Structures are given as structure tokens and as C-alpha cells.
Chain A
Amino acid sequence: MLVGERMSHPVITVTQEMPVHDVLAMFKKDNIRRAPVIKDGKMVGIVSDSDLLNASPSLATTLSVWEINSLLSKITVKHVMTKKVKTIEVDTPIEEAARIMADLKIGGMPVMHKGKIVGMITATDLFKVLLELTGAREKGVRATILIEDKLGEIAKVSKSIAEAGGNIIAVGMYAGPEVGKWGVIFKVLGIKKEAVKAALEKTGKKLVDIR
């Protein structure tokens, strides 16, 4: 799974000359939180909703509508955008995007292909991948077990579920609460909770949670 397969596109962009006020309205309408700033087909920066809000007058001012309008028409994207843009290539593994966003504490970034912007990858896109990964949108039995960190453990458990007639639609692994153990989440269709439980118990692994 690569970034290009789950990014959002087409990309909504803005220009440096756009007044902050217009861009804020556009962000609200399109339900986006950041947009690349484009000049002559090239990216010159990125602007987020908090960049824009930091520059907008608040309801708490005593300025008249006329004063505010005249001030705001002079403030454009150019004044508030971030010039240094973190980007990612279209063929980067999707989990690498999550790593960059967690490390830099950013909520999204432009996706590039041969120097051109081809999409945006955002927190929402990554959440959706996480939902897919764990089969969260599907009905079925969700079971969590603990396995040893050694060869063939996942295969053993998935075989037992398959033999009981269950179809595994998702598998997620994570570092378990004990050292040297993995937690594994299975989402299973086609058989009842009791049957999944029995199949897992047959493997001798510790069942953490089933629902």
C-alpha cells in the first residue's frame, strides 16, 4: 500500500495573492484544513487554517465592518503561508507517511510525482487506512490474542480459524504488554463468536479480548 493509492485528489490549491478571508471561506466550504500555494505551476508554500486564523480579525475587536474589510483585503496568503513545505513522494509506503506526520506533528502534506503535486495525504486518509487494516467498517468477530515472538505463530492461529470455517478479513499486530510477545487482532467473518473462541483456544494462545 503506497501513498498514491490512498491520497486525496484532485488537489485544491490557492495563490499568493488571495486574501486570507477568501481562503478561509474556501477552506470551510471544501472542508479542508490546508492547501499548497501555487505560483506559475510551482509550489511556493503551504497554508493551514491556523495560519489563516492567526491573521484574521476576531469578533472581539471594535473595528467597524468597513475598517476590517479594508484591512483584510490587504492581507494575502503570501503574508501567512509557510514557505518550507514537507512533501512526500507518491510511491512511498503509506506507513512512512504516518511516521513523518507523527514525528513532525503535522496533519497533512502534498504528494509529489516527478516534481509535480498530484495529491494530498491527510490524517483523515490515514485513519481510513487504519480502519481498513483492522476491518473496522465490517461486521464480524474481533478477537485479540497474545503470541510469542517466534516463527510461524500467526500462521498457526490463522490456520486454526480457517479450519473452523472462519474467513479472516483483517490482521493487525502490535507490541504486546509483555516483552517478547505480540498482540494480534483478527477480524473474522462467517463463524460465530463461540466458534472463533474455540478455534483460538485450540492453539493454546492467551485470548485477551473477543467481541
Chain B
Amino acid sequence: MLVGERMSHRVISVPPEMPVLEALAMFRKSQIHRAPVMKDGKMLGIVSEVDLLNASPSQVTTLSVWEINHLMSKVTVKQVMSKKVISTEIGTPIEEAARIMVDAKIGGMPVTRSGKVIGMITETDLFKVFMEMMGAREEGLRVSVLVEEKPGQIARVSRLISDAGGNFLGFGSFAGPDASLMIITFKVTGIKKDDVKKILGKEVKKFLDIR
């Protein structure tokens, strides 16, 4: 799965001259937290809600409405945006986008193709991918087991379940409590709880959770 398959296509951008207050109102109305700053089809920077809030007057100032309006009309997106934009290419694996967002501690980034912005990938998009992979929106039996970390383990577990008539809706493997162990979590239909226990009994160290 690549970034282009799960990004949001709707790109809401702002011009560098837009006053900060106007941009904030737009962010609230469109329910977005960041937007690329574009001029003549080129991306100059990115501006986040926090960047905008940092520049806005708060309700606690003693300035009059007139003073605030006058001051704020002078502060534009250009003055508060980040010029260094972290972006990703449309053909990047989706998990690579997650890695970049974890490492840079950002909540979203523009997606580009041949240097042009064609989408945005956000934390909400990644939450959805995660749910898909775990079969979170599907009905079925959810099984979590602790197994030894050794070659062929995933192949063996999936083989045993499908030989018994189980059909996978989601499958995930995770690091165990130490390096010699791993956790496998999957969602299946077509097989009962007791049968799963019977079939995997020899293969797993421990049944962590079945529901």
C-alpha cells in the first residue's frame, strides 16, 4: 500500500499574503490542522494551526477590537509559516509516511508527484490504514497469541488456521516482551474460539486474548 492510495485528495492551500486570522477561520471551517502555502502553483512553506495560534491575539488582551484588527491585518501567513516543508512522494510505502511522522513529530504532510502537491497524508488517514490492517471495522474472532520468534512462524500459524477453515480479515505481528518472542494478533471468521485454541495449542507459548 502506497501513500497515494490512502491520502486525502482534497488539498486546501493558503496564499502567503492571507492574514493569520482569516487562515485560522478557514482552518476551523474546513476542519484542517495544517495547509501548504502556495504561490503561483509552487509550495513556499507549510502553516499549522499552532503556528497561527501563536501569532493570534488572545481573548485576554486589553486591546480594543479596533487595535486588534489593525494589528492582525498586518500579520500574514508568510510571517508565521515554516519554510522547511517535510513532504512525501505519492509512491512512498504508507508505513514510511508513518515513520517520518513519528520521527519528525508531525501530524501530517503534503504528498507530491513530480514536485507538485497532489494530496495530504494525515494522522487520521494513518489511523484508518491501521484499522484496515487489523480488520477493526469487521466482525470476527480476534485472537492474540505469544509465539517464539523463529523463521517460518507466521507461515505456520496462518497455515494452521486456514487449514481449519479460518478466513483472515486482519493480521499483525508485533514485538514480544523480549527479542525471542513475538505477538501475533489476527481477526478471523469461519472458525470457533475453542477450535483456535485446540489447533494452535502446540504452536503458541501463550494465548494472550481471544474475543
Contacts and interface: CB of A to CB of B under 8 A. Distances in A.
Interface of A: 1-2, 5, 31, 49-50, 53-63, 67, 71-72, 75, 91, 93-96, 98-99, 101-102, 105, 107, 123-124, 126-137, 142, 144, 150-155, 158-159, 161-162, 167-175, 177, 183, 185, 190, 209, 211
Given A60-B55, A158-B155, 4 more contacts: A61-B57, A72-B60, A153-B162, A159-B159
A158 B57 CA distance: 58
A177 B58 CA distance: 47
B56 A155 contact: no
Chief secondary structure at chain A's binding surface: mixed
A209 B63 contact: no
B131 to A, nearest CB: 5
Given A107-B107, A133-B130, A174-B132, A209 B174 contact: no
B133 A152 contact: no
**5 A-B pairs closest in CB distance:** A95-B134, A136-B95, A134-B95, A95-B136, A162-B155
Interface stretch (B9-17, B119-127, B198-206): B119-127
B57 A58 contact: yes
Interface in B2-40: 2, 5, 31
A172 B137 CA distance: 15
Nearest to B123: A123
B123 A168 contact: no
A168 B55 contact: no
Interface in B101-116: 101-102, 105, 107
Contacts of A75: 60
